[in-house]
Structure 1
């Protein structure tokens, strides 16, 4: 990745973050209300945990049993070479609780990648954005879901992955109401079942590898 491309990616990410904060007030209120109605979500709103390197014990997660949610998440970070500290802080939401909701949404993004079995390449990001768009209604997710496929002419995206993401986004429990930090040892299959997320129709074993049909 060239320095110019890295700078462009950072600028683009900041622009998307600003868009989400300045145009998604009603969606944020709806998300906050859904969390309040869920006992686990209400606890999250009260305690406001953060998902950052300073709050995670990645070495411990790596020693958990293979197939546990924490082990899968640590593997996802390692394979895709991503860090939980890359999420932009909330800057343009005045309401303190709503500001936390959008911060929480950003910080669970990689956890959703893990749960959905999606890599961090363009195709994987589009699939996650479709899921997030249905789940949250946030404008930035809707735009990403709508315009992302323009750059991808993959038949499998249209015929299998997007319909799967939409169905799971509709049927699953509110993903912001899950206290992920208390679920690291839970088998990822059991966690998916609890949330109502079905296994992905296509499986990746690494970031640069082709999907297995």
Structure 2
């Protein structure tokens, strides 16, 4: 884990660290607080969706205005590989099988990049971590944000870093908890409509939405 001191965003080491703490009692206690007021039927359905693997080919074949296509394009442009976490750290698969909440945090991370609008630069990642901390109440986001002073010392770009962190804070408090949003059922939705309904842009008139979905 010492590599994270030199390179806090080193992919393999970061995933190994998360895997090492995700089943610990403090993190599991935090997870229970996160989901305790959510109906069991909702959690069961969300667990089923979380277990569904991403299909880049199917997403890439959707119309270009859809959430699925835009997510596929985002991953292609940023060289993000489907299920890349498990490919880099195979023991994560066992953790995911034991704990679907950890798996969902991993699964939706890149989806949120595409939906919320943060890039994969260090400032962009820190902005999304702040969003995750406030909106998802994700423990890993909280830990990342706590390291902001070191991130600025290590990577520079203080103004851009702080600007993205502030944007993450504002956006995180402006919408519902996206951990519970069933993105897997929304791949064929219009991308801009998804962002609008989550509060990230002004909504289109409802008649335009209905006309677009009916193809008229």
- State how 1:123-138 maps to structure 2 within 5 Å: 123-138=123-138
Q: Which 5+ residue runs of structure 1 have no aligned equivalent?
A: 200-213
Q: Determine if the alignment matches structure 1 residue 182 to structure 2 residue 182.
A: no
Q: Choose between structure 1 and 2: higher helix proportion.
A: 2
Question: Do the aligned partners of residues 198 and 117 (structure 1) sit closer, same or farther apart at CA in structure 2, a change above 3 Å counting?
Answer: same
In the TM superposition, what is the alpha-carbon distance from 1:189 to its structure 2 partner? 1.7
Partner of 2:28: 25
Partner of 2:51: 50
Give the distance between the partners of 1:141 and 1:91, measured in 2 at CA.
22
- Match for residue 70 of structure 1 among 59, 68, 71: 68
- Match for residue 157 of structure 1 among 156, 161, 168: 161
Question: Do the aligned partners of residues 171 and 74 (structure 1) sit closer, same or farther apart at CA in structure 2, a change above 3 Å counting?
Answer: same
Q: Which of the pair has the greater relative contact order for Cα pairs under 8 Å at 6+ separation?
A: 1
Partner of 1:196: 199
SS of the aligned residue for 1:186 comes to coil
Give the distance between the partners of 1:59 and 1:147, measured in 2 at CA.
37
Q: TM-score, normalised by structure 2?
A: 0.72
Contact 1:123 1:157 in 2 (8 A): yes
Partner of 1:143: 143
Larger radius of gyration between Structure 1 and Structure 2: 2
Q: CA RMSD in A?
A: 2.8
Higher mean Cα deviation, 143-152 or 164-173?
Answer: 143-152
- State how 1:55-134 maps to structure 2 within 5 Å: 55-56=54-55, 58-88=56-86, 89=92, 99-134=99-134
In the TM superposition, what is the alpha-carbon distance from 1:118 to its structure 2 partner? 2.0
Contact 1:20 1:138 in 2 (8 A): no
In the TM superposition, what is the alpha-carbon distance from 1:64 to its structure 2 partner? 2.0
Give the distance between the partners of 2:74 and 2:42, measured in 1 at CA.
25
Question: Do the aligned partners of residues 61 and 163 (structure 1) sit closer, same or farther apart at CA in structure 2, a change above 3 Å counting?
Answer: same
Q: Which 5+ residue runs of structure 2 have no aligned equivalent?
A: 1-6, 87-91, 203-216
SS of the aligned residue for 2:172 comes to helix
Q: TM-score, normalised by structure 1?
A: 0.73
SS of the aligned residue for 1:49 comes to helix
In the TM superposition, what is the alpha-carbon distance from 1:91 to its structure 2 partner? 5.2
